[in-house]
Amino acid sequence: MSIAVDQAPRRARLALRFGAFPVMTAGLVLAMLYSISAGRFEVPMARIVEILWARVWDFSGSPETMDERIVELVRLPRVLLAALSGAALAVGGAALQGVFRNPLVSPQVLGISQGGAFGGAMAILLGFHGVVLLGMSFVFGLAALVLVGLLARINGRTEILTVILAGMVVGAFFAALVSVLQFLADPNSSLPAIVYWLMGSFSTATWARLGLALPGMVLGLGIVWLLRYRLNLLALEETEARSLGVNPDRERWFIFIAATMMTGTSVAVAGVIGWIGLVVPHAARLIVGEDHRRLIPASALLGAAYLVLIDTLARTLTASEIPLSVLTALIGAPVFAVLLRQHFKRAWQS
């Protein structure tokens, strides 16, 4: 009898955690449908499903009516890009928090976002857009990671503390370079473009831009997914992880590279979007727990739905589009404060 009583709460917790995935998946689908529907020209959800279903059976055709053009050419690529970016940023944050064993870590800690921001700002200052802007953002995001690696590697080894300190140094350095570019930019042309781009937006989303972002984000997500078991071991103390056959230095850098690909690509296509990689993993932990085998997919689903809804608010609340970083900070900061309070309250009670 006592064994059955002891197992009952455990079964309830397992049912809640594994039953949460269908709910989160349904929530993501509803969020995407609502986002495609909402706007100045509202399209009913039933009509959206009809358009998409017809496109599945006749992929070669072109949109003819106004609602078909709005759904297929304007809103669908934007929603898909927002969902993919939200999933990538959230998974990158969850993976880095596991590697650093610190819930306050986000992709910005490695200076990746600042490096990508510098590359994109330089491209805008030089008059480049499109593929060149994407490429420069990604390259300088990788350059930031390489600099962190060079600074953090001492006597052939890389410690967690040195990586954090090196990331702070590299991030501050690239942030200063972005300020220099803003100082040099033409206040009537390139400066407003740089400032608006840095504040984040999916207003320029197209199928071509989605195609450019897809490889880096999908590859990064795939690497983290393959290492989800190892992340549980990397969350242990380094000596304990090594005793279990894990090479922390090597696998840590696989995670860093994956986070760089996802964050750098996100910065390239939408500018700097903060708080996603910090807030969403905390919410996912409250639902599915600490195990990265569940935490990674939960973070992806929640991050995708969250950024889709944020982008919908950004383009529908006012006549002019609100920058994403403004909304993510206004919503993310108080939500993160509540989640962090609950996290430490539960930790102290246990």
pLDDT tens digits in sequence order for the chain, 350 residues long: 333 434 445 555 555 566 789 999 999 999 999 999 998 889 999 999 999 888 887 766 677 788 889 999 999 999 999 999 999 999 999 998 888 877 777 777 788 889 989 998 999 999 887 778 878 887 898 899 889 888 887 776 667 678 778 888 999 999 999 999 999 998 888 898 898 888 889 988 999 889 988 988 999 999 999 999 888 888 777 777 777 777 777 888 899 889 888 988 898 888 888 889 888 998 898 888 888 999 999 999 999 999 999 999 999 998 888 999 889 988 888 877 876 677 667 667 66
Which tokens is 153 given?
């590697």
Number of domains in the chain: 1
Answer yes or no: is 5 within a domain. Answer: no
Answer yes or no: is 124 within a domain. Answer: yes
Verdict on whether the full-model pTM lies above 0.85: yes
Q: What's the rounded Cα separation, in Å, for the pair 116 and 143?
A: 9
Q: Are 303 and 86 in contact (CB under 8 A)?
A: yes
Please report the pLDDT score of residue 345 as a whole number: 73
Please report the pLDDT score of residue 95 as a whole number: 92
**Residue carrying structure tokens 């279990």:** 244
Burial 264-284 (b: 16+ CB within 10 A, else e): bbbbbbbbbbbbbbbbbbbbb
Answer yes or no: is 1 within a domain. Answer: no
Tell me the residue type at 35: S
Answer yes or no: is 182 within a domain. Answer: yes
CA-CA distances (angstroms) from residue 324 to 7, 28, 155, 276, 328?
A: 45, 19, 42, 11, 6
Residue 153, phi then psi, degrees to nearest 5: -85, 115
Please report the pLDDT score of residue 296 as a whole number: 95
Answer yes or no: is 336 within a domain. Answer: yes
**Residue carrying structure tokens 């370079």:** 177
Please report the pLDDT score of residue 246 as a whole number: 76
CATH code (residue 111): 1.10.3470.10
Range of the domain at 239: 15-349
Please report the pLDDT score of residue 3 as a whole number: 38
